[in-house]
């Protein structure tokens, strides 16, 4: 069971990481276009580059398993990013809300299996 949980953790975490890195890379490849999207969503367009950097840092922290507290914050940051993206797409009625939903599902599964796999006998991570 432990091996299965660990495998599922890495599958979900790998898919989540791929999705987030792809998103951040797209931000860097066409900054101006994404600044326009963010402005249309009601956000400040200048947030695109710092958000892309934060996403990449979150993935790095999640994949390393070295800093448990920082890892919890990385999961939380991605959660808020995905929820805000979902809300923005629903508000715009642009039918692009499946990406944030998939991201939220992968995030939840990655986090749930992280808690199962890396929790010690006392319940600490």
Q: What is the pLDDT along the chain (125 residues), one digit of tens a residue?
A: 789 999 999 999 999 999 999 999 999 999 999 999 889 878 899 999 999 999 999 999 999 988 899 999 999 999 999 999 899 888 888 888 899 999 999 999 999 999 999 875 445 65
**Tokens 């009625």, located at residue:** 93
Residue 25 has a CB neighbour count (10 Å cut-off) of 12
What is the rounded distance in angstroms from the CA atom of residue 29 to the CA atom of residue 88?
Answer: 21
Q: What is the pLDDT of residue 111?
A: 96
Q: What is the pLDDT of residue 2?
A: 85
What is the rounded distance in angstroms from the CA atom of residue 18 to the CA atom of residue 20?
Answer: 6
Instruction: Indicate the domain borders of the chain.
Output: 2-118
Instruction: Calculate the CA dihedral of residues 108, 48, 35, 78 and round it to 10 degrees.
Output: 10
**DSSP reduced 3-state for 40:** helix
Closest to 113 measured CA to CA, from 2, 19, 18: 2
């Amino acid at each position: 069971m432990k091996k299965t949980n660990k495998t599922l953790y890495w599958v979900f975490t790998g898919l989540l990481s791929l999705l987030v890195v792809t998103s951040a890379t797209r931000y860097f490849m066409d900054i101006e276009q994404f600044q326009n999207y963010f402005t249309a969503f009601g956000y400040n367009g200048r947030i695109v580059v710092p958000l892309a950097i934060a996403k990449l840092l979150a993935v790095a922290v999640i994949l390393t398993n070295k800093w448990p507290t920082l890892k919890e914050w990385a999961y939380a940051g991605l959660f808020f990013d995905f929820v805000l993206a979902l809300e923005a797409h629903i508000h715009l009625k642009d039918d692009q809300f499946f990406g944030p939903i998939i991201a939220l599902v992968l995030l939840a599964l990655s986090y749930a299996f992280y808690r199962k796999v890396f929790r010690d006998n006392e319940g600490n991570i």
